[in-house]
Structure 1
Amino acid sequence: MKVLVAGGNSVLGCYVVRHLIDHGYQVFALSQHPEQDNPLAIPLALQDEYMAGKFDAVICCARPVMAPYAQEKQAPDFSVLMDSIERFAKPDARKLYTSGIEVFGCADECSPDELQFEPLSAAEKEVPVLEKVIKLGWTPVFVPTLVYGGHECPIHTSLNRRESLRIPVLIPSSGLYYAAHLDDLAAFHVTLIEKETLAPFYFLAEEKRYSPENLADLLVKYGWAEGVKCLSLPSFLKQYGQEVLEVETMNVSVPISPDFEPRHSLSSYLSQTRITPAHDHP
């Protein structure tokens, strides 16, 4: 069975590729920048015609990555490429489009029956792409703001890139983050391409949510960070801007798909994983 992964070198895409290979699938990755190709997958150029209509499943891992602990500053942009990606799929292929909960970030609650997008400003461009792929028969899969796990854990990577290991937190802290381990998310993508029938859409996340303040306290408690820097609203806006403020204060409740049964939890992961934190820069 042939599977094509677009965004196979993204944080989540790397895990999806590995899990598919572990399950015996022949995995191709859409290659736009050869120097960045996922070495585990067979590269496929967008202009290749000989593989058109040959894939049993196509997965687009193009979710926006905007969390404070994200490894990527910018997600892969497939908005102008979906028609080209679409042509690689067989007529009856399973097609998954992975996006982020941020496209509902201005809402208080998401309906379990229909999608009503209320995006954060940083996710506005994702909405027309989602509307397009849904019309083309893709199944959207929404993953959390906060993803973690693996040898290059996005949380650890982000913390090591900071000038200081004191975590900035808006006080009072009103947002709530969903979280999920990358292995749990990737494993469920494999499950979805193997299921006989799919729901119209999926929300994947652990049940427990974390405020930015709670999360920062956990990072300090378990040795991932050295302290918390409390900021007022004017100070936070001045330092980080409106888009980051929207992520910091996002508090949307989503209907987590009952089929998603994560094996990990963020709090356990932080408590059990030993890291070597970077030192504060002078």
Structure 2
Amino acid sequence: MKALVAGGNTVLGKYVVRHLIDHGYQTFAMSQQPEQDNPLAIPLAAKDQQLSGKFDVVICCARPVIAPYAQESQSIHAAPLMSDLERFAKPHAAKIFTSGIEVFGCAQEVVADDLCFDPLTAAESEVAALEKAMRAGWTALFVPTLSYGGPDCPIRTAIMQRGSPRIPVLIPASGHYYAAHLDDLAEFHINIAEQNDREPVYFLAERQCYSPEDLADLLVRHGWAEGVTCLSLPSFLKRYGPEVLALETMHVTVPISDAFAPKHHLPKYLAQTRFASVPDHPK
């Protein structure tokens, strides 16, 4: 069985590649920067013709990420990428699009049968690509902004990149975060790829969600941060801009898929994992 992962060197893509290999797939990866290809996967160039129509599973993890706890910030040219991935897929391949439209699509209303997207400016280009992919038979997986796990944990990386041991929080804040461990997200990709009766849309997250204040308190309580810096609306806007403000204040309740049964939970992870200062790769 052959699997192709676009964005195999993104934070989630690394985990998807590793789980595919662990499940016995011959795994290829296609990235924007070939010199940074995932070393576990076989590199594949978009212009390759010999493997057209040869893949049983095609997964797109190459997406822009705009959340404050994310590592990737580069944009992608979604339409050409999706066209290339369609060409590599077998006629009845499992095709999975992992959405980067953060916080479950920035949706005004989130109903699995009738999505209503209200994208942030930074994600506008991906909305069209996602909707086109779903019309073409791709399964959309919405993953939460707050992913975590492994030596290169995105939460830890975000704290390190801030250069401050204190967590900034908008006061008052009306939003909330959903969370999921990277291993749980990656394992779900394989589970869905191996099902014959896939639903068109899945929302993946742990059931408990967190306000920015709750999250900051968790990080401080378990030694991941030294304290909280409370910011007024003008201060927050000046420091982070309107896009991050929109995420910080977004309050969307989503129909988390019953098929997603996470083995990890954020509070337990933070309590049991020592905060380390040197990022690494998942092992």
- TM-score normalised per structure 1: 0.94
- Aligned-partner Cα distance in 2 for 1:74–1:266: 27
Partner of 1:56, secondary structure, is strand
Q: Is the 8 A contact 1:106 1:250 kept in 2?
A: no
- Structure 2 gaps of 5+ residues are 279-283
**What is the match of residue 244 of structure 1?**
244
Cα distance, 1:31 vs structure 2: 4.0
The question of 1:105 aligning with 2:95 is answered no
Match of 2:74 in 1: 74
Cross-structure match for 1:184 = 184
Aligned with 1:224: secondary structure? coil
Unpaired runs of at least 5, structure 1:
none
Distance 2:133 2:112 in 1: 19
8 Å contact from structure 1 (residues 145, 178) kept in 2: yes
Amino acid at match of 2:106: G
Measured after TM superposition, the shift of residue 75 of structure 1 is 5.1
| Structure 1 segment 23-38 matched on structure 2, within 5 A | 23-38=23-38
Secondary structure in structure 2 of the residue aligned to 1:70: coil
- 1:115 maps to a residue whose letter is L
Matched, 1:12 2:12: yes
**1:171 alignment partner in structure 2:** 171
- The answer as to whether partners of 1:140 and 1:200 remain within 8 angstroms in 2 is yes
Matched letter for residue 136 of structure 2: L
Q: TM-score if structure 2 supplies the norm length? A: 0.94
Deviation at 1:14, TM superposition (A): 0.4
Q: 2:281 corresponds to which residue?
A: none
8 A Cα contact 2:170 2:231, kept in partner: yes
1:107-156 deviation per Cα after TM superposition (whole angstroms, max 9, x unaligned): 2x411322221223322221101111112211111000110001100011
- Counterparts of 2:121 and 2:104 in 1: how far apart (Å)? 9
For residues 156 and 68 of structure 1, what CA distance do their matches in structure 2 show? 12
Deviation at 1:264, TM superposition (A): 0.4
Aligned-partner residue type, residue 60 of structure 1: C
Q: Which amino acid aligns with 1:104?
A: G
What amino acid maps onto 2:157 in structure 1? T
The alignment covers a number of residue pairs equal to 277
CA contact (8 A) 2:5 2:27 kept: yes
